[in-house]
Amino acid sequence: MKVAIIQARTGSTRLPGKVLKTLGTESIISQLYQRIKQCRLLDDVVIAMPEGAEDDALAQHVANFCPSTARGSEKDVLDRYMTAADQFGAQTIVRITSDCPFFDPDILDQMLAAFDHDGPDYMSNTIDPHLPRGLDAEVFTIDALRRAHNSATAPHEREHVTPYIYQHPELFSVKGFRIDGNWADLRWTLDTEKDWSLIQRMYDLLEVSYQEARLPDFLAVIKAHPELREINASVKQKTLDE
């Protein structure tokens, strides 16, 4: 079973409630879920949320469109992933964060095919940064996840799920994935109001339907409107320790 697990929560230090913001006529989390469901090589898409009362409204919203959900620890996201993976019988897990509304399902299909062909414990398209921030994905085996769950102790290893795996190449086979091109200077993730302003503008300027849009379509918007790059150019990505 190949299962994508989207981690989502209401709390966010820089932009609370961001996944419930409306993009077009639907929430960010609903739009992202529909995009990921287009991946041909996935068997299921799970949304994993914290179990606290603060996220009850999110869980109720998600239940309207996603039949596969799990709830677990807010801070120990590694444990939340382990719970979700076991609950849905995942053998290969894709980690995706809920703040990536321009995520490209075709790139993920290519990545899953490469993962099956190469057979590593872990694969990421960020080891060699080349995609816009917001198209990030990690693929790993249930065995790698379980070993990390049993061994990881540092707070950043528990909160960010995979550092114990990719920071220990002596214990796990780790492989990068890339496609031709380099757009690492672009930021299409949602973490601040400036990010939100950019995402809304790009959404409005798309010349194809949003659910059909892929990386070339979003790049075409930037090419036609290069001034958009400046909207969130000053935003710094948070580090693992933040």
- The CA distance from 154 to 173, in Å, is 21
Q: Is the pLDDT of residue 13 over 80?
A: no
Please name which of 219, 209, 202 lies closest in space to residue 34, comparing C-alpha atoms.
209
Spatial neighbors of 233 by CB under 8 A, at least 6 apart, are 187
Positive or negative, the CA dihedral 214, 218, 221, 223 is negative
Mean pLDDT of the chain: 96
β-pairing, 26-27 vs 22-23, is: antiparallel
Q: Is the pLDDT of residue 242 over 70?
A: no
124, 177 contact by CB (below 8 A): yes
In terms of phi and psi (left: phi > 0; alpha: psi -120 to 50; beta: otherwise), the region of 119 is: left
SS3 160: coil
pLDDT digits (tens, 9 = 90+) for 199-211: 999 999 999 999 9
pLDDT digits (tens, 9 = 90+) for 21-47: 999 999 999 999 999 999 999 999 999
- The CA distance from 193 to 14, in Å, is 8
Confidence of residue 111 (pLDDT cuts 50, 70, 90): very high
Residues in a beta bridge with 123:
139, 175
